[in-house]
Amino acid sequence: MGLKCKYNETGYGLTLLILSLSGCILLLYGCKISYSFSGASISPAVKTISIQYFQNRASLVQTGLSQNLTDALIDKCKAQTNLSFVNDIGDVNFEGEITDYNTRPLTVSADAQAATNRFTITVKVKFTNAVDPDLSYEQSFSRYEDYDSALSLGDVEDSLSRKIIELLIEDIFNKAFVNW
């Protein structure tokens, strides 16, 4: 005994199948679905972006940190969006400042010496979305990396700064464009 599929004589089964599939296709076509491999969800009405220079207002100022942070955000937005960069204020705009840059002892060894230090960078960001103001935000982002206290901050500062900036930029970008 085999399984047989049989449509009735009048073709109602086939017609019902075609109508059902057509309805599903129209329903999906009518819904706005936007997806990108970066996960960024940007309204088609947003065409331009601007990123202002992030000033370093931390009590400890590291040369080049402002430029590195600003450039990293520009690079991320160029790589993950198709928005056009403008010098004045775009449809979406980033501005902000570095508010904290410090290192502190994290754990203490048996001889009362610091065993691990924590290096932290904090950035205050104002993101403005002129197309959809509900998506605008003003928030501080903070990231850190721990390092062995046998090393001086000068020994690890460049590599840790790069790692922290990468994490901060990911957080800032995701808050602006990835609505998870």
SS (H, E, C) 123-142: EEEEEEECCCHHHCEEEEEE
Q: Is residue 24 part of a domain?
A: no
Average pLDDT over residues 19-46: 58
Range(s) of the domain holding residue 89? 43-177
Q: 124 near 130, Cβ under 8 Å?
A: no
Count of structural domains, the chain? 1
d(CA 139, CA 76): 19
Enumerate long-range contacts of 33-39, CB under 8 Å, 24 or more apart: 36/80, 38/79, 38/80, 38/81, 38/178, 39/174, 39/177, 39/178, 39/180
Statement: residue 13 has pLDDT above 90: no
Q: What's the confidence (pLDDT) of residue 12?
A: 58
Is the per-residue pLDDT at 28 higher than 80?
no
Average pLDDT over residues 126-152: 96
Q: How far is CA 31 from the centre of its chain?
A: 25
Give per-residue burial for 121-147: e unless 16+ CB within 10 Å, then b.
bbbbbebbbeeeeebeeeeebebbbeb
Asked if the structure places residue 88 within a domain, the reply is yes
Structural domain includes residue 131: yes
Provide the pLDDT for residue 35.
37
37 occurs within a structural domain: no
Per-residue model confidence (pLDDT) at position 59: 87
Q: What is the pLDDT of residues 41-79, one digit of tens each?
A: 899 999 999 999 999 999 888 889 999 999 999 999 999
| Confidence check: pLDDT of 88 > 60 | yes
- Please report the pLDDT score of residue 22 as a whole number: 57
Residue 113 has pLDDT above 80, yes or no: no
Is position 15 within any domain? no
Question: Per the domain annotation, does 145 fall within a domain?
Answer: yes
